[in-house]
Structure 1
Amino acid sequence: MTTTTHRRTDLYPTRTVSEPRPQSRQDPTVWSTATGPLDRGRLAQYDSEGYLVLENLLSPQEVEHYLAELRRLNEDETLRGTERVVREPDSDEIRSIFEAQKISAVFAELIHSPRLTDIARQVLGSDVYVHQSRVNYKPAFGGAEFDWHSDFETWHSEDGMPRPRAFSISIGLTDNHPFNGPLMVMPGSHKTFIPSVGETPADYHKESLRVHRLTVGSVDHDSLTRMADQHGIQQVTGPAGSAVMFDCNILHGSNGNITPYPRSNIFIVYNSTENALEEPFAAPRPRPQYLGNRDFTPAPR
């Protein structure tokens, strides 16, 4: 089903529907057959499952380097009162800091490094830019859960991303244990788009980034159950320095962290320059720049 809004064809209508009717994805996951850092087997795995673990992406020395920068940002008093900082729902601890590449030269170098952007160009079949970046802290003794969701549903609705031609990469700066709230994914769920019911409130990002449960933009329980029964649920664990890349439409979430061990990462979203943001498809106005970047300058080669 498609709808036309402001003379645009909307291939993935959501938040304008009365019931969540899943539809098959109308776009590829891997947009290119060009050679690159990922071999054919790895590309096929990513295409099929919607995610791929990159082991030992960072050396132990690099992990310490970036972890020190993560701690520095957490202690930077000049950031604490800015909108880039999102706090935990039940405490004053920092949950995430957005636009990592603008506030940290250390992280900017990593975000624009060929070892990441070459993968992005290979998978997305074009030049790429950073749609969003952030550091996530998932602090010990109370880091809150992230509810099940598709990132693309939000980016389409609230940022105006036309098609699912983007992916995220989460690079672990601490160990991802089964017990400290690691990422969970439903492999293969990226092939189905599940719309959300409900109208997007104004400035919804101020609520949605911090709450335990999403009221708009979430996946209904019946659809989640069907997808879990069909695809199963996988935890993504691994040592610091490993990473996971995952398609923008895969269903994912994480449990809370009540352990003494934080789960911190650097999180980057690469979008195709041929998939630049338009006006939101289901929101009163675009989210702020630090959430949905509207500078589409390609990452340097």
Structure 2
Amino acid sequence: MEALPMRLTDAQVRQFHTEGWLFLPDLFSPEEVAVLREEAEAIYREDRPEIWREKSGAPRTAFAAHTYNEAFRILAAHPRMIGPIEQVFGERLYMHQFKINAKAAFTGDVWQWHQDYGTWARDDGMPEPRAMNISVFLDEVMPINGPLMLIPRSHRHGVLEAGHDTETTSYPLWTLDEATVTRLVEEGGIVAPTGRPGGMLMFHGNLVHGSAPNITPYPRKIVYLTLNAVSNRIRRPTRPEWIAHRDFAPIEPVADDALLRYARSRRQEAE
């Protein structure tokens, strides 16, 4: 019998709308996460334009892995992620962006304070913040290894003024100034969701967030999917297609056990 689509509880939906974020621990099993982690590490060793590196040469992020890797193709259409976001938006979704952020041990660099929707609006022509960030932990995310920091309720302020920072790191970003961040933190504080591999974090496109460098021996790989409402497709893309996708077809979810079956087939091949 096919599993029923995953749905959030009323309390979870309320928390998301109020705080701007929601964390679902242990959404994926250790077996499912293990194959994703292994294939992410293999992707980082490739020489592709989709893979951005820190100034040190360590991997920073790998874009569009779902277009050239089977495990991440399955993850990109997994019902445990698609179902809750369709529930929140009330319509079908397409993949606006897909990336695997490395935050490598010792060398993982900072991600400055920013809003993602500000970038999607300015660089991609996205009409409204009806796109959702989904983050799947591939490593344990701890308080010490550069966890994502969120400013609760900051999504209520809409799109904030930002400057285009092209110097701090290897990746250009629309960032917020210190006075704005200070004001928002005084109102909402800062949270840093942590947890075991397999947890999933979802947060609003206007939620202000960032992360500190990772100077520990513990890597912090996280897959980020941006699921956009089909009616909210981008209108004026300026970035490469592998950063801001132009395929607006609704995602057709795979079977709930698809990733598990893939993991077991890969293990059998290796034996």
TM-score by length of 2: 0.87
**Distance in 1 between residues matched to 2:244 and 2:202, nearest whole Å:** 19
- The Cα shift of 1:75 comes to 2.3
- 1:158 and 1:150 map into 2 onto residues whose CA distance is 13
Matches within 5 A, 1:21-32: none
Letter in 1 for 2:103: K
1:86 lines up with 2:43 in the alignment = no
Q: Is the 8 A contact 2:44 2:51 kept in 1?
A: no
8 Å CA contact retained: 1:86, 1:209 = no
Contact 1:194/1:219 (8 A) holds in 2: no
For 1:187 and 1:162, how far apart are their aligned partners in 2? 23
CA distance 1:171–1:36, shift in 2 (3 Å): closer
Match for residue 212 of structure 2? Answer: 255
Larger proportion of helix: 2
CA–CA separation in structure 2 for the residues paired with 1:171 and 1:62: 11
What percent identity do the matched residue pairs reach? 35
What secondary structure is seen at the aligned counterpart in 2 of 1:292?
Answer: coil
Which of 43, 55, 65 matches 1:100?
Answer: 65
What is the letter of the counterpart of residue 99 of structure 1?
A: A
Distance 1:65 1:59, change over 3 A: same
Corresponding residue for 2:153? 188
Structure-2 residue corresponding to 1:57: 27
- Within-5 A mapping of 1:1-301: 37-76=7-46, 80=47, 82-89=48-55, 91-196=56-161, 207=166, 210-211=169-170, 217-279=174-236, 286-301=238-253
Give the CA RMSD over aligned residues.
Answer: 1.9
AA in 1 matched with 2:72: F
Which residue identity lines up with residue 158 of structure 1 in the other structure?
D
Q: Corresponding residue for 1:4?
A: none
Residue 156 of structure 1, CA deviation? 0.2
Structure 1: which 5+ residue stretches go unaligned? 1-34, 281-285
Checking the alignment, whether the CA contact within 8 Å between 1:36 and 1:122 is kept in structure 2 is no
What number of residue pairs does the alignment pair up? 249
Structure 1 segments of 4+ aligned residues over 3 angstroms from their partners = 207-212
Alpha-carbon offset, residue 224 of structure 1 = 1.0
Structure 2 residue matching 1:289: 3-state secondary structure: coil
CA distance 1:186–1:197, change in 2 (3 Å)? closer
Unpaired segments of 5 or more residues in structure 2? 254-271
Q: Distance in 1 between matches of 2:136 and 2:150?
A: 16
